[in-house]
Amino acid sequence: MSNRLQSRTLPSVCCVLLASLLAPPALADGEVNIYSARKEDLIKPLLDDFSQQTGITVNLVTGKETELLQRLQSEGINTPADLLLTSDAGRLTAARQAQVLQTIQSEALEKHIPAAYRDPDGYWYGLSVRARPILYAKDRIKPTALSTYEDLAAPRWKGKLCVRSSDSIYNQSLVAGMIAHHGEANTETWAKGLVANFARSPKGGDRDQIKAIAAGECDLTLANTYYLGGMLTSSDQAEQQAATQVAVFWPDAKTTGVHVNVSGAGVTAHAKNRDNAVKLLEFLASDQAQRWYADVNNEYPVNPAIPPSATLKAWGAFKADTLNVAKLGELNAEAIKLMDRAGWK
């Protein structure tokens, strides 16, 4: 009886083994939950690709940086979030300081992301680089008249400069970088000179500063390059027209280099789907995702092996500041106080 049973079951077992060998590799299962301060259209296509390739369902919640951080803190161990995605090293450092992130180690992330663009202890990793150079009116300013960020405080630029308010994390990080390089006293003197050169009270976002140059309200501004890239490729003809009237100048080429920052992400301290969160983070640092950041978002790839988009290439190469961007977050509080003392509204 037992022999007959064995002979009857062996073929079926063999068939099962053969089928498993011939079948395509099984997709990963489960889900990963993201709190993202980046707009949905700037990240959703990548998340869809990740799900298609891995079988992991991505649940996305978008919101403002401060709100998402507060939500993570209030939810504590009960948070559904596995990954926090945000748009500035200052925000990422704030999340680490709030103890809502955990440290992870990944050979893939360390391979693709230079040390200057990630937290030294692995709490978060940069995913795209944004430069904040000087933009100037093509018809009114000669690029040979420009040199450094410090020079923007010179009296000859009085009434020529438009900027965002001191509430802008991008400006806060720029000032933090200045503090790191030049010290607090020198940076405060610079900030006071900068404020004295404002053509108007700070208002609006980076795109508004570019539009102000086009409208003749000022001749110079500080703006992240991806905003200019977005305007140049916009379907809004007015935005396109405004963007064509400004040009990019890369400051501090002979000294510290152009101020750069990152968008990035970290695995949350109480992630229920930690492994899937790490997989997603590694995917966002992959060649495929990095090319998407460059070609679609007009951001510089964090991976130096991936070339920038044609739009970014047209502005030329530049020397980037090598300061670890984590320092921008560490000095954020000092930067805010300094800007307040300087009268930067």
DSSP H stretches of helix in 76-222: 89-97, 107-112, 169-182, 184-196, 206-214
User: Please, are residues 111 and 303 in contact by the beta-carbon 8 Å criterion?
Assistant: no
**DSSP symbols for 318-336:** -PBP-S-THHHHHTHHHHH
Which of 9-18, 94-103, 234-243, 262-271 has the lowest average pLDDT?
9-18
pLDDT per residue as tens digits for the range 248-287: 999 999 999 999 999 999 999 999 999 999 999 999 999 9
- In the structure, what pLDDT confidence band is assigned to residue 16 with cuts at 50, 70 and 90? very low
DSSP helix/strand/coil, 34: strand
**pLDDT value for 319:** 95
Which of 81-85, 177-181, 229-233 has the lowest average pLDDT?
229-233
For helices 287-297 and 274-284, angle between their N-to-C axes, nearest 10 degrees: 60
Sort residue 292 into left (φ over 0), alpha (ψ -120 to 50) or beta.
alpha
**In this structure, which amino acid lies at residue 336?**
I
pTM score, whole prediction: 0.86
Instruction: Kindly give, in sequence order, each residue whose CB lies less than 8 Å from that of residue 37, ignoring residues fewer than 6 positions away.
Output: 62, 63, 64, 65, 68, 85, 86, 87, 91
Select the more confidently predicted residue: 29 or 168. 168
pLDDT of 18 over the 90 cut: no
Q: Which residues share a beta bridge with 34? A: 60, 83
Q: Token pair for residue 217?
A: 């309200």
Burial 136-156 (b: 16+ CB within 10 A, else e): bbeeebeeeebbbbbbbbeee
Mean pLDDT over each residue of the chain, to the nearest integer: 90
Which whole-number Å values give the CA distances from 48 to 41, 117, 223, 330, in the listed order? 11, 25, 30, 34
Which of 41-50, 108-117, 258-267, 268-277 has the lowest average pLDDT?
41-50
Among residues 194, 88, 94, 198, the alpha carbon closest in space to that of 148 is found at 194
- In the structure, what pLDDT confidence band is assigned to residue 201 with cuts at 50, 70 and 90? very high
Q: What domains, with CATH codes, occur in the chain?
A: 31-130+261-313 (3.40.190.10), 131-258+329-341 (3.40.190.10)
**pLDDT value for 146:** 97
